[in-house]
Amino acid sequence: MVVGDVTTGTEVLVVGAGPAGYVAAIRAGQLDLDVTLVERDAYGGTCLNYGCIPSKALITATDVAHEAATAEEMGIHADPAIDLAGMIDWKDGVVDQLTGGVEKLCKANGVTLLEGTARFADENTVRVSHSGEGQGSESVEFEHAIVATGSRPVEIPNFQFDDEPILDSRQALGLTSVPDSLVIVGAGYIGMELANVFAKLKTDVTVIEMLDSILPGYDDDLKRPVKQRATDLGIDFEFGYTVSNWHDRDEGGIRVVAEPAEQAAADGGEEAEQLVDDRLEFDADSVLVAVGREPVSDTLELSAAGVETDDRGFIVTDSRARTNIDHIFAVGDVAGEPMLAHKGSTEGKIAAEVIAGEPAMLDQQAIPAVVFTDPEIATVGMTESEAIEAGFETTVGQFPFRASGRALTTGHSDGFVKIVADDAAGYLLGASIVGPEASELIAELGFAIELGATLEDVAATVHAHPTLSESVMEAAENALGHAIHTLNR
């Protein structure tokens, strides 16, 4: 169908159908608002198509293969053959099931779906260009808009994603043959999750990180088991280095040049010459660049609507997801850190509810964050040092998984549960877990913080035996000085 130069109207216009935008649209539909959702690429956004879901599918599949191959201690001797194309087909099937579900749910909630790229024409109108020859464009007038255009991977100089050997995470998740060797630039959560995936596919992985450790922002005690496990999997690390260039090799593959991170800062002289001598070179099939993500706010013509961004391009919002323009909201990655799907979905619901006149507001204190490495890391609320900095006198409880019967029966007993509470009142302030199923276990602690629960509440809750969740109870008991299965401090 050719769409001509028509103008339609809607109460709520949502731009972007990722986990922030589609959730906002569905919630607005539930609240009987007339909603139009514009998406230029694929329902489910980065999360469902190129991020959370495909990465977790491949993490699980490579874990299954790796577990089977390394279970001699349990009396299992196997050497699984990996058909990466088959694995990718299975992952794509999972993605299709979920993205099809999003489309159906939107329609079932009365959301009008519009395929195309939206740009603001003024503070009450967007122009939507439809992709494909002869598809034209149309204008949509709105009473309220919710911007949910997400983020994209940051490129670094000389490493353009349209050069074949240079991959972003989306391309890495779509490879159909296993590279023999891979350089990963950036040891953040995306780089580390994919380093584990490829190491378990038996790729030689080298991670180059400009800082001095993996997973910046996480406490050292949480990172230690992850770094150790990565090293055991054969992943090499080069800290304090940044990649500067690459070239094809006559023998095939590429050579990647890395320089000390200070090189960029040094501007000539003896110091710079010394640093040139410290250059490193790595031969690889491909390079995955995973140095961070930046907001997609520059292609929207936000200025036509008067919407302000900060100096990194994030749209500035308040705790009700409202921008500086009263009837325009922004949610998800484009509205700032933490760039996580569940933060975006929560903001999406809040924006829809505020538009419907409900008193909704974002409470940042109990937003969990998970790194799906081996073992997993999960955190919620404040760390011990953040709590002390915020003026609390803290008490801390810890329980090691090596003392958990269930952890030992899974063959994964590295790591611990750590709970931080207010010393006087016993309220939980934060928790961190590194170990098996940390991503699932953290939910109980987020819930406890939301409810204003105390250490006593968590300790007195009967946890089924034998489960990993008993470790949460024991960590609370440890803070109270009466854990049963570990020594109390």
- Shortest CB 68 distance to ligand FAD, Å: 24
Total residues at interface with ligand FAD (CB under 6 A): 36
Residue 245, phi then psi, degrees to nearest 5: -165, 175
Compute how many other C-beta atoms are within 10 angstroms of the C-beta atom of residue 312.
Answer: 10
Minimum CB–partner distance for residue 134 and ligand FAD (Å): 19
Nearer to ligand FAD, 130 or 224 (CB): 130
Q: Which is nearer to ligand FAD, 330 or 453 (CB)?
A: 330
Please name every residue paired with 13 in a beta bridge, in sequence order, or none if there are none.
Answer: 36, 145
Contacting residue, 35, 39, 145, 376, with ligand FAD by CB under 6 A: 39
**For ligand FAD, which stretch binds (CB under 6 A), given 15-23, 211-219, 232-240, 281-289?**
15-23
Binding residue (CB under 6 A) for ligand FAD from 47, 222, 380, 458: 47
Picking from 461, 458, 426, the residue whose alpha carbon sits closest to that of residue 445 is 458
Name the segment binding ligand FAD (CB under 6 A); options: 45-53, 268-276, 409-417, 477-485.
Answer: 45-53
* Candidate segments 37-45, 155-163, 251-259, 427-435, binder of ligand FAD by CB under 6 A: 37-45
Options 77, 465, 482, 485, the catalytic residue: 465
Burial per residue of 233-263, b for 16 or more beta-carbon CB atoms within 10 angstroms, e otherwise: bebebbebbbbbebeeeeeebbebebbbbbb
- Find the binder of ligand FAD among 182, 341, 380, 403 (CB under 6 A): 341
37, 102, 118, 476: which one binds ligand FAD (CB under 6 A): 118
* Closest distance to ligand FAD from the beta carbon of 120 (Å): 9
Question: Helices in 215-372 by DSSP H: which ranges?
Answer: 220-232, 269-277, 341-355
* Minimum distance from residue 45 beta carbon to ligand FAD (Å): 3
Instruction: Considering only residues 155 through 174, tell me which ones interact with ligand FAD, judged by CB under 6 A.
Output: 169
3-state secondary structure at position 10: strand
Span interacting with ligand FAD, options 16-24, 97-105, 156-164, 318-326, rule CB under 6 A = 16-24
Segment (H or E) for 47: helix 45-50
Q: What are phi and psi of 464, to 5 degrees?
A: -65, 150
Residue whose tokens read 């990194």: 312
Q: Whole-number minimum distance, CB 84 to ligand FAD, in Å?
A: 17
Q: Which residue type is seen at 158?
A: N
- What does the alpha-carbon distance between residue 224 and residue 245 come to, in Å, rounded to a whole number? 31
Here the tokens at position 416 are: 């611990």
Residue 465 appears among annotated catalytic residues? yes
Tell me: does residue 187 bind ligand FAD (CB under 6 A). no
- When binding is defined by CB under 6 A, the residue of 45, 165, 260, 446 that contacts ligand FAD is 45
Of positions 51, 165, 225, 260, contacts ligand FAD by CB under 6 A: 51
Q: Give yes or no for residue 323 binding ligand FAD (CB under 6 A).
A: no
CA distance 28 to 263: 51
Query: Is 380 near ligand FAD (CB under 6 A)?
Result: no
- Which secondary structure element, helix H or strand E, spans residue 428, and what is its range? strand 428-435
**Which residues on neighbouring strands pair with residue 140, listed in sequence order?**
8, 126
Which of 10, 117, 263, 323 binds ligand FAD (CB under 6 A)? It is 117
Tell me which of 160, 228, 299, 365 binds ligand FAD, using CB under 6 A: 299
At residue 416's C-alpha, the angle toward residues 411 and 418, to 5°, is 160
| Minimum CB distance to ligand FAD, residue 203 (Å) | 17
* Long-range residue pairs from 337-344, CB within 8 A, at least 24 positions apart, any chain: 338/367, 338/369, 339/151, 339/293, 340/367, 340/369, 341/18, 341/19, 341/20, 341/47, 341/51, 341/52, 342/19, 342/367, 342/368, 343/367, 344/18, 344/19, 344/20, 344/23, 344/148
Give the span between the Cα atoms of 215 and 227, in whole angstroms.
10
Of residues 378 and 417, the one with the C-beta less far from ligand FAD: 378
Nearer to ligand FAD, 17 or 382 (CB): 17
Out of 12, 148, 351, 458, the residue judged to bind ligand FAD by CB under 6 A: 148
CB of 103 to ligand FAD, least distance (A): 12
Q: Which stretch binds ligand FAD (CB under 6 A): 63-71, 331-339, 459-467, 477-485?
A: 331-339
Q: Is 340 in the site for ligand FAD (CB under 6 A)?
A: yes
> What is the rounded end-to-end Cα distance, in angstroms, of the chain?
71
Between CA 226 and CA 373 the distance in angstroms is 7
**Which positions are catalytic?**
465
Q: Which residues bind ligand FAD (CB under 6 A)?
A: 15-21, 38-41, 45-47, 51-52, 55, 117-118, 148-151, 169, 190, 296, 299-300, 332-333, 339-342, 344, 372
